[in-house]
Structure formats: C-alpha cells, structure tokens
Amino acid sequence: MNRFLLVQCILSILIACSASKKSISIPPEKETVQVKTVAIAHPATILIEKDTIPVVFKIDTVFKLSRGACFGNCPVYNFTILNDGTVIWEGVKNTAKLGMHIAKLDQQKINELQLQARLILNKGFKSFYPEKKHEIIPDFPTAVYNFFDQTQSKKIVVNNSAPKQISELREKIETWLGNTEWIKIEP
C-alpha cells in the first residue's frame, strides 16, 4: 500500500509539473558580507557567492497518444511520455496492460523522440487525417497525437491514412513500450 501511495504522489507531482508551461530559474545571488578577524583592525567587506542554486529541472510532456475504440476489438489506451523518460500508460480495453501503469525509457530514446517531435512540429502537418471528410472510415479507431516542444505543441487527429512519418514514429514508440518493464499502479 505504501508503494501505491508513493507512486500516486509521484504521478501527481509529474502531471502537475507537466501542465506548467513556465520554467523557474533563480540566478545565483551575491551578497555583501562583513568579515571580522583578529588580525585586521578594521572590518573587511568582500563579496562572496552564496551556494549556487541550480536551475530547476523542468518536467514536461514530450508526447501523448490516445487511441479510441472501433466496432471490433481495437485496443483502447492512452499514454504520456515525459522528458525525464517517465511513461504513464492507461489501458482501457483490449490491451495486455489494463489500468494504470508506469515505466521509464532511457534518455537516448527520449532525445530521439524530442528530435522527431520537433521535426513533426516544424513540418506543417494538418490537424486531421484523412484531409477529406468523405474518406473517414467510421469503424476505424481514432488516434489523437500530441507533440510538445518547449515553445509549441501540435495535436493531430488520425482516423486513417496517417502521414508515414507519424505512423513510423508510433510504431517505433510502441516497440519501445513493448520492451519496457512496467509497474502496475493499483486503482
């Protein structure tokens, strides 16, 4: 039970930090300190640097994917990948992992994902695929992709006919997630 509470607290903090779009940075402060010693008759004033406070590490969302239902047995799930490698998975139905799970991806994969997200954000993809409404297939699941960078975000909804770059990225991420150790977060 303690493990559950710890994971729940961590998730709450990560999600709260992820929602914030402002970064906090505190520059090191210098302060005048008066130093008195026995050997010096008059007090000496010197500048010393306080302990340097490091820039706060900002936890941000890099990528989110939500896959919806279809008329058949399509997997329905949502997952979020944060820039520290944390993956939060919610399996809704027809998946091997039902319920909430958490995992960690290595930083190399996160760097690759951030690079791909930047490329997609700057490529000018449409917000909905297929582009023509008459090409929508009602039986197909809808996938909602959310790409985030420090300065911008892009939501792409796909019913079918996703651009090749987006489909390949989804397949790569799903392969990563399939080869990852998961911890189930009990409801």
Transcribe the chain into DSSP letters. -HHHHHHHHHHHHHHHHHH-------PPPEEEEEE--SS-SS-EEEEEEPPPPPPPPPP-EEEEEEE---SS---EEEEEEETTSEEEEEEEESSSS-EEEEEE--HHHHHHHHHHHHHHHHHT--SEESSSGGG--TTSPPEEEEEE-SS-EEEEEESS---HHHHHHHHHHHHHHHTS--EEE--
pLDDT value of position 32: 54
Q: Return the higher-pLDDT residue of 162 and 38.
A: 162
Model-level pTM greater than 0.75?
no
Which percentage of the chain shows pLDDT scores above 70? 69
State mean pLDDT over 67-96. Answer: 95
> By CB neighbour count within 10 A (0-12 exposed, 13-18 middle, 19+ buried), where does 71 fall?
exposed
Residue 90 has pLDDT above 80, yes or no: yes
pLDDT value of position 58: 73
Q: For residue 1, is it within any domain?
A: no
Q: For residue 14, is it within any domain?
A: no
Report the DSSP pairing between strands 153-158 and 30-35.
unpaired
**Mean pLDDT computed over every residue of the chain:** 80
* Dist. CA 136–CA 134, nearest whole Å: 6
The domain of 72 spans: 61-185
* Dist. CA 181–CA 169, nearest whole Å: 20
Q: For residue 122, is it within any domain?
A: yes
Provide the number of structural domains found in the chain. 1
Q: For residue 116, is it within any domain?
A: yes
State mean pLDDT over 77-102. Answer: 95
**CATH number reported for the structural domain that contains residue 161 in this entry:** 3.30.1560.10
pLDDT, one tens digit per residue, over 39-64 is: 445 555 555 454 443 445 577 899 99
Q: For residue 114, is it within any domain?
A: yes
Residue 8 has pLDDT above 90, yes or no: no
pLDDT value of position 38: 47
Q: For residue 4, is it within any domain?
A: no
